[in-house]
C-alpha cells in the first residue's frame, strides 16, 4: 500500500505547496513507510505565522469557556480514535502498544484538564495602599506561539503545549519532530474535527533548520515552547532572545533512583524495570541511574539480572512484548556509541548489544543494558536516551544524595525506603523538578506541574494549573474611584 501523502495544515486547510519536497517516516520495527510529508520551507513557516497572526484577534475575543468547549470536543475526538492513534504511535516510534495507548490517554487527560481552565484562568485581587482604589491582575494571551515537539511522546507532548496555549487565547504554529510526523497529523486532525476556527492551529512539517528557525525568528511570534535535546534547546533559547521572546525549554534528564538498605526490594525492582526500560528508556524521565545502597547491592543486582534476562524484545504491537525497538537509526547509533564508551570505562553486567537475526534485522533493537560504574564516568552523567542503566554503589544516604545531585540535569528522581523521615528529607534534598517516593522516576500525571531544574529547562513548568503561566502575560490593573489624584508611595498616610 502506498504511503499516504500528507500536506501542511495552514489557515484551516491541508495544502501541498507546488513543487514541495517530501520526506517519509518509517516504522522502526520493520522499516515500512508510515507516511509521506511536506519538507516545509521558510515560505511555509511564514504562511503559517501569517494565518495564526490573522486568526489571533478573533480567538483572543472568544470567551475562554467557549474555547474550553472546543477542547472538550478535541478530547472526545481523541477518545474515539485512541486505539487507532495509539497504534500509529507504536508504528511510528516503536513504544509498546500499551504505552502507545497511554501516550494518547495522556493527551486526552491534559486536553480535558485544560478545558476546565477556561472557567478559571485565575488572576488576583490585591489590596491597595490607598483608599478608594482597587487592584487586580488579569491574564492575557501572548499572541502567536510556536510549539516544537519531540518524537518520544508524539501525541501527549504536543497536546501539553497546544491545549494550554489555546485555552489562554493564543494561536499556534506547530512544528513536530520529523520522526513522528504522522502522529502530529493525527493530533491536528482531532482539533480540526472539533471545529477549531481556521488559523488558530497550524501545522508545518519539516526540519528544524528549514522550518523551526524561521518560525523562531519571525517577529510576529511572541513565544516558543520547545521540548527536545539540550543542544537544540540552547540554540532555540539564543535565537528567541534576539527578539525578547518568551522561550520555554523542556530538555534532558539523568534521573536517579535511590534504593536504600531498608527498601522493599521486590517493589523497587518492578519500578526500576518500568523506569529504566519502559519506552526503551526513551523518556526524559527515564530511570537512567540506580544509586544502590551497598548493603543490598549484590542481592538487588542478582534479582535485576534475572528479570532483565526475562524481558521480551520484539514487535511492539504484540501485547506480550516488554521492550520495542528504539525510534530510529540515529537513536540506535547514539545509544550504541554510548554503550561502546561504557565498555571502556565501566563494567558491563547485562546486554550491551544490538539484536540481530530474523525479524530483528529489520529493526533497531537494543538489548536492555546494565553497567556497574563509579560515579563520574560519562555513562553515569550524560543523557543516553535509551535502554541503558548505570548502577552506582553508595555507602549511605548522604552519598546517595550527593551522587544524585551531581549531574547537569534535574528532571525526575526517586527514592525507595521505608523510613518516613528519610523520604521527607529526600523530598527536600534532591535537586530536581519531580521526586517520587516508592515509585519510579516515570509516570507523571497531567494535573501536576512537570519540568526540571539546571540544564533540564527554563521558562516555568508544563502541565498542572501552572501550565497557563507559560502562555499568558499578566496585566496589572489599578482602578481609582476616589475622583482625585492619589499618589502611591507619597500619599500613603492620606485619609
Ligand atoms: C517525557 O519523556 O518528556 O512522566 C515526558 C512520564 C510521562 C511524560 C514523560 N508522563 O514519564
> Phi/psi of residue 398, each to 5°?
-60, -45
CA of 283 to the centre of ligand 1 (A): 6
- Per 3-state DSSP, the chain is made up of helix, strand and coil in percentages (nearest 5) of 40, 25, 35
Would you say how long the chain is, in residues? 495
Distance CA 445, CA 225 (A): 20
CB of 249 within 6 A of ligand 1: the answer is: no
284 is catalytic: yes
pLDDT at 493: 61
CA of 444 to the centre of ligand 1 (A): 6
Ligand 1 atom at shortest distance from the alpha carbon of 282: 2
Fold of 255-437: Aldehyde Dehydrogenase; Chain A, domain 2 (3.40.309)
Tell me the three cell numbers of residue 242: 534576539
Work out whether strand 13-15 and strand 22-26 pair parallel, antiparallel, or are unpaired.
unpaired
pLDDT at 2: 75
CB of 277 within 6 A of ligand 1: the answer is: no
Work out whether strand 201-203 and strand 221-227 pair parallel, antiparallel, or are unpaired.
unpaired
The model's pLDDT over 68-99, given as tens digits with 9 standing for 90+, comes to: 999 999 999 999 999 999 999 999 999 999 99
Residue 200, CB-side half-sphere exposure with 13 Å CA sphere: 27
- Which residue from 450, 451, 464 has its CB within 8 A of the most atoms of ligand 1, so it is best to mutate? 450
The share of the chain scoring above pLDDT 90, in percent, equals: 98
Residues 284, 332, 462, 469: which is the catalytic one? 284
Tell me the three cell numbers of residue 353: 548489544
- Which residue from 113, 250, 274, 283 has its CB within 8 A of the most atoms of ligand 1, so it is best to mutate? 283
Work out whether strand 5-6 and strand 8-10 pair parallel, antiparallel, or are unpaired.
unpaired
307, 273 in Cβ contact below 8 A? Answer: yes
250 is catalytic: yes
pLDDT at 367: 98
Which residue from 98, 217, 104 is spatially nearest to 157, judged by alpha carbons?
Answer: 104
The model's pLDDT over 151-200, given as tens digits with 9 standing for 90+, comes to: 999 999 999 999 999 999 999 999 999 999 999 999 999 999 999 999 99
365, 354 in Cβ contact below 8 A? Answer: yes
The share of the chain scoring above pLDDT 70, in percent, equals: 99
Residues 250, 383, 462, 469: which is the catalytic one? 250
Distance CA 115, CA 67 (A): 7
pLDDT at 1: 61
CB of 59 within 6 A of ligand 1: the answer is: no
Which residue from 415, 398, 417 is spatially nearest to 290, judged by alpha carbons?
Answer: 415
CB of 397 within 6 A of ligand 1: the answer is: no
Work out whether strand 369-372 and strand 388-394 pair parallel, antiparallel, or are unpaired.
parallel
Which residue from 439, 415, 387 is spatially nearest to 278, judged by alpha carbons?
Answer: 387
CB of 106 within 6 A of ligand 1: the answer is: yes
**What average pLDDT does the chain have?**
97
161, 149 in Cβ contact below 8 A? Answer: yes
Residue 445, CB-side half-sphere exposure with 13 Å CA sphere: 4
236, 208 in Cβ contact below 8 A? Answer: no
The model's pLDDT over 342-374, given as tens digits with 9 standing for 90+, comes to: 999 999 999 999 999 999 999 999 999 999 999
Residue 421, CB-side half-sphere exposure with 13 Å CA sphere: 1
Distance CA 463, CA 164 (A): 8
Q: What residue spans define the domains of the chain?
A: 5-251+456-476, 255-437
Same fold flag, 5-251+456-476 and 255-437: no
pLDDT at 224: 98
> Phi/psi of residue 271, each to 5°?
-65, -40
Residue 400, CB-side half-sphere exposure with 13 Å CA sphere: 26
Q: Which residues pair with 388 in a beta bridge?
A: 369
CA of 5 to the centre of ligand 1 (A): 30
The model's pLDDT over 206-249, given as tens digits with 9 standing for 90+, comes to: 999 999 999 999 999 999 999 999 999 999 999 999 999 999 99
CB of 328 within 6 A of ligand 1: the answer is: no
CA of 48 to the centre of ligand 1 (A): 29
Distance CA 94, CA 89 (A): 7
CB of 285 within 6 A of ligand 1: the answer is: yes
- Which residue from 153, 251, 281, 451 has its CB within 8 A of the most atoms of ligand 1, so it is best to mutate? 153
Ligand 1 atom at shortest distance from the alpha carbon of 444: 4
The model's pLDDT over 251-286, given as tens digits with 9 standing for 90+, comes to: 999 999 999 999 999 999 999 999 999 999 999 999
CB of 385 within 6 A of ligand 1: the answer is: no
Q: What is the DSSP string of 23-76?
A: EEEE-TTT--EEEEEE---HHHHHHHHHHHHHHHHHHHHS-HHHHHHHHHHHHH
Distance CA 421, CA 423 (A): 5
CA of 153 to the centre of ligand 1 (A): 7
The model's pLDDT over 434-484, given as tens digits with 9 standing for 90+, comes to: 999 999 999 999 999 999 999 999 999 999 999 999 999 999 999 999 999
Q: Which residue has the cell 495552514?
A: 10
Helix-helix angle 420-429:397-405, to 10 degrees: 30
pLDDT at 494: 52
Which residue from 178, 272, 221 is spatially nearest to 52, judged by alpha carbons?
Answer: 221
Which residue from 250, 191, 200 is spatially nearest to 225, judged by alpha carbons?
Answer: 250
241, 74 in Cβ contact below 8 A? Answer: no
Residues 6+ apart with CB under 8 A from 444: 285, 412, 434, 450, 463
In the predicted structure, residue 495 carries a pLDDT above the cut 60: no
Fold of 5-251+456-476: Aldehyde Dehydrogenase; Chain A, domain 1 (3.40.605)
Distance CA 180, CA 34 (A): 9
The model's pLDDT over 390-420, given as tens digits with 9 standing for 90+, comes to: 999 999 999 999 999 999 999 999 999 999 9
Amino acid at each position: 500500500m502506498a504511503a499516504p501523502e500528507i500536506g501542511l495544515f495552514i489557515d484551516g486547510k491541508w495544502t501541498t505547496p507546488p513543487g514541495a519536497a517530501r520526506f517519509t517516516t518509517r516504522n522502526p520495527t520493520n522499516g515500512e513507510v508510515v507516511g509521506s510529508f511536506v519538507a516545509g520551507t521558510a515560505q511555509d513557516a511564514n504562511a503559517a505565522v501569517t494565518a495564526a497572526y490573522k486568526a489571533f484577534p478573533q480567538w483572543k475575543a472568544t470567551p475562554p469557556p467557549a474555547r474550553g468547549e472546543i477542547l472538550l470536543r478535541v478530547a472526545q475526538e481523541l477518545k474515539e480514535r485512541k486505539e487507532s492513534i495509539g497504534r500509529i504511535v507504536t508504528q511510528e516510534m516503536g513504544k509498546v502498544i500499551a504505552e502507545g495507548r497511554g501516550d494518547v490517554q495522556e493527551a486526552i487527560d491534559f486536553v480535558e484538564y485544560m478545558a476546565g481552565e477556561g472557567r478559571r484562568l485565575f488572576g488576583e485581587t490585591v489590596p491597595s495602599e490607598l483608599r478608594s482604589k482597587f487592584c487586580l491582575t488579569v491574564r492575557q494571551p501572548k499572541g502567536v506561539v510556536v510549539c516544537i515537539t519531540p518524537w518520544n511522546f508524539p501525541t501527549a507532548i504536543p497536546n501539553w503545549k497546544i491545549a494550554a496555549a489555546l485555552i489562554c487565547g493564543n494561536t499556534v504554529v506547530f512544528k513536530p519532530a520529523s520522526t513522528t510526523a504522522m502522529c502530529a497529523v493525527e493530533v491536528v486532525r482531532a482539533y480540526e474535527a472539533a471545529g477549531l476556527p481556521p488559523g488558530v492551529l497550524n501545522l508545518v512539517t519539516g526540519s528544524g533548520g528549514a522550518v523551526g528557525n524561521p518560525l523562531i525568528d519571525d517577529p510576529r511570534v511572541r513565544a516558543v515552547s520547545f521540548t527536545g535535546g539540550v543542544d537544540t534547546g540552547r540554540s532555540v533559547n539564543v535565537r528567541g532572545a534576539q527578539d525578547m521572546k518568551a522561550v520555554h525549554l523542556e530538555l534532558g534528564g539523568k534521573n536517579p533512583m535511590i534504593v536504600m538498605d531498608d527498601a522493599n526490594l521486590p517493589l523497587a525492582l518492578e519500578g526500576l524495570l518500568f523506569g529504566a526500560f519502559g519506552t526503551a528508556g526513551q523518556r526524559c524521565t527515564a530511570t537512567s541511574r540506580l544509586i544502590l545502597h551497598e548493603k543490598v547491592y549484590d542481592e538487588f543486582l542478582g534479582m535485576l539480572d534475572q528479570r532483565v534476562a526475562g524481558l521480551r524484545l520484539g514487535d511492539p504491537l504484540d501485547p506480550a512484548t516488554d521492550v520495542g525497538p528504539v525510534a530510529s537509526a540515529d537513536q540506535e547509533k547514539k545509544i550504541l556509541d554510548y554503550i561502546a564508551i561504557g565498555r571502556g570505562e565501566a563494567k558491563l553486567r547485562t546486554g550491551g548489544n544490538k539484536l540481530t537475526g530474523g525479524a530483528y534485522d529489520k529493526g533497531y533493537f537494543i538489548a536492555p543494558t546494565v553497567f556497574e560504574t563509579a560515579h563520574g564516568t560519562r555513562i553515569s552523567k550524560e543523557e543516553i536516551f535509551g535502554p541503558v542503566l548505570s548502577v552506582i554503589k553508595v555507602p549511605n544516604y548522604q552519598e546517595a544524595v550527593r551522587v544524585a545531585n551531581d549531574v547537569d540535569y534535574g528532571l525526575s528522581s526517586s527514592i525507595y525506603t521505608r523510613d518516613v523521615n528519610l523520604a521527607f528529607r529526600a523530598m527536600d534534598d534532591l535537586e530536581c523538578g519531580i521526586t517520587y517516593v516508592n515509585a519510579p522516576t516515570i509516570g507523571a500525571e497531567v494535573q501536576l506541574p512537570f519540568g526540571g531544574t539546571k540544564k533540564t529547562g527554563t521558562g516555568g513548568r508544563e502541565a498542572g494549573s501552572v501550565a497557563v503561566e507559560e502562555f499568558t502575560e499578566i496585566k496589572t490593573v489599578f482602578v481609582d474611584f476616589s475622583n482625585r489624584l492619589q499618589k502611591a508611595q507619597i500619599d500613603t498616610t492620606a485619609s
